[in-house]
C-alpha cells in the first residue's frame, strides 16, 4: 500500500529544490490504495501530458482522475466533498471559491518567497496559526461564524502579529485600504485625511487620485481635481 501522500501545501511550499513540484511526485499506485475518499481501481492512462487513473469514491461514483492531483492531495473525492462543504457553510460555488482564495492567498504571502507580497508578510515574520495553516475547513468555519461574505477581506487587528482567530476580522476592501501601513495622509483645507477618505468625501475616483500621487502630484487642488488634468491645463 502507498504510504504518505503529500498534500497541496507540502508540494508548494516544503522544498528548496526546483524538482519538488507536483509533477515530480510520480508514485506508482497499487490497486486498492486509498486517498481520502478515493480508492484506486487501476486502468492508468496517459492523456496528453498527464496520467489518469480510475477511482471509486466513497459516495459510490467511479471517475477517471489525474494521478498527480490525487497523490498530491489536491483532489480528495469525485467532487462530492466540494458540494458537501458548500452546503455545510451555506455557500454557493462562487462564494466557496472566493473564501478558498482568501485562505490560499493568506498562506501564499506568508510562506511563498516568490509571492509579490511576501516581503510585507513572510519576510517580516508574519505567519498563519497551526489551526488554519493546513486546514481550510477550520479557517472556513471561523470565517462563516464571524460574518464573512464574498465582499469582505481578512484583516489583522494587530499588524505585528500573524493570522490567528484572536487577531483577525473581516472588513470591506475600502476599510482595508484605509488600514494599510502605507496609507497616504493629505492636508486639504486644514483637515488631514487619507486619500481614500478624501475621495469618498469629494466623490472622486480613488484609483485615479492614487495614480496622480504616484506621478508626484502633491498640490491638493490638483490631486483632487475632479476632471481630466488636461482640461485644467487648458484653462490655466
Q: What is the pLDDT of residue 132?
A: 98
CA distances from 185 to 146, 162, 196 (A): 31, 26, 9
Domain boundary among 77, 105, 134: 77
Domain boundary among 177, 202, 220: 177
On whether both 91 and 127 belong to a single domain, the answer is yes
On whether both 121 and 150 belong to a single domain, the answer is yes
On whether both 117 and 153 belong to a single domain, the answer is yes
97 φ, ψ to 5°?
Answer: -65, -40
CB 101 within 8 A of CB 80: no
Distance (Å, rounded) from C-alpha 193 to C-alpha 199? Answer: 10
Cell 516544503 found at: 14
Cell 469618498 found at: 200
Q: What is the pLDDT of residue 25?
A: 45
Q: What is the pLDDT of residue 16?
A: 33
On whether both 162 and 199 belong to a single domain, the answer is no
Residue 2 forms part of a structural domain: no
On whether both 101 and 161 belong to a single domain, the answer is yes
Q: What is the pLDDT of residue 27?
A: 62
On whether both 105 and 150 belong to a single domain, the answer is yes
Cell 490567528 found at: 164
Q: What is the pLDDT of residue 229?
A: 84
pLDDT average, residue stretch 24-46? 82
On whether both 172 and 211 belong to a single domain, the answer is no
User: Read out DSSP for 189-204?
Assistant: TTEEEEHHHHHHHHT-
Residue 229 forms part of a structural domain: yes
On whether both 93 and 169 belong to a single domain, the answer is yes
Q: Which domain holds residue 23?
A: 8-77
On whether both 118 and 137 belong to a single domain, the answer is yes
> Mean pLDDT over all residues of the chain?
83
CB 76 within 8 A of CB 130: no
What nine digits make up the cell of 150? 464574498
pTM here is 0.58
On whether both 170 and 205 belong to a single domain, the answer is no
pLDDT higher than 90, residue 112: yes
Residue 3 forms part of a structural domain: no
Instruction: Give the number of domains in the chain.
Output: 3
Q: Using N-to-C axis directions, what is the helix angle for 80-89 and 136-145, rounded to 10°?
A: 20
Burial of 209 (0-12, 13-18, 19+ CB in 10 A): buried
pLDDT average, residue stretch 174-181? 66
pLDDT digits (tens, 9 = 90+) for 178-200: 666 457 889 999 998 888 888 88
CB 156 within 8 A of CB 191: no
pLDDT higher than 70, residue 231: no
pLDDT average, residue stretch 18-23? 36
pLDDT average, residue stretch 29-53? 89
Distance (Å, rounded) from C-alpha 150 to C-alpha 68? Answer: 31
Amino acid at each position: 500500500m502507498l504510504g504518505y501522500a503529500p498534500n497541496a501545501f507540502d508540494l508548494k511550499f516544503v522544498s528548496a529544490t526546483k524538482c519538488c513540484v507536483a509533477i515530480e511526485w510520480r508514485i506508482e499506485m497499487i490497486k486498492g490504495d486509498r486517498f481520502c475518499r478515493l480508492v484506486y481501481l487501476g486502468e492508468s492512462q496517459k492523456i496528453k501530458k498527464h496520467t489518469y487513473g480510475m477511482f471509486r469514491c466513497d459516495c459510490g461514483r467511479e471517475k477517471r482522475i489525474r494521478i498527480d492531483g490525487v497523490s498530491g492531495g489536491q483532489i480528495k473525492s469525485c467532487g462530492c466533498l466540494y458540494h458537501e462543504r458548500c452546503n455545510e457553510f451555506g455557500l454557493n460555488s462562487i462564494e466557496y471559491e472566493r473564501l478558498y482564495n482568501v485562505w490560499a492567498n493568506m498562506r501564499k504571502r506568508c510562506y511563498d518567497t516568490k509571492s509579490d507580497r511576501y516581503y510585507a508578510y513572510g519576510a517580516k515574520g508574519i505567519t498563519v496559526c497551526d489551526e488554519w495553516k493546513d486546514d481550510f475547513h477550520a479557517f472556513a468555519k471561523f470565517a462563516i461564524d464571524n460574518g464573512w461574505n464574498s465582499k469582505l477581506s481578512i484583516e489583522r487587528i494587530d499588524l505585528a502579529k500573524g493570522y490567528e482567530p484572536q487577531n483577525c476580522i473581516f472588513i470591506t476592501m475600502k476599510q482595508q485600504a484605509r488600514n494599510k501601513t502605507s496609507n497616504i495622509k493629505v492636508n486639504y483645507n486644514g483637515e488631514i485625511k487619507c486619500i481614500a477618505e478624501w475621495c469618498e468625501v469629494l466623490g472622486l475616483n480613488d484609483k485615479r487620485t492614487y495614480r496622480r500621487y504616484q506621478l508626484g502630484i502633491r498640490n491638493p487642488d490638483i490631486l483632487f481635481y475632479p476632471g481630466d488634468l488636461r482640461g485644467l491645463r487648458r484653462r490655466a
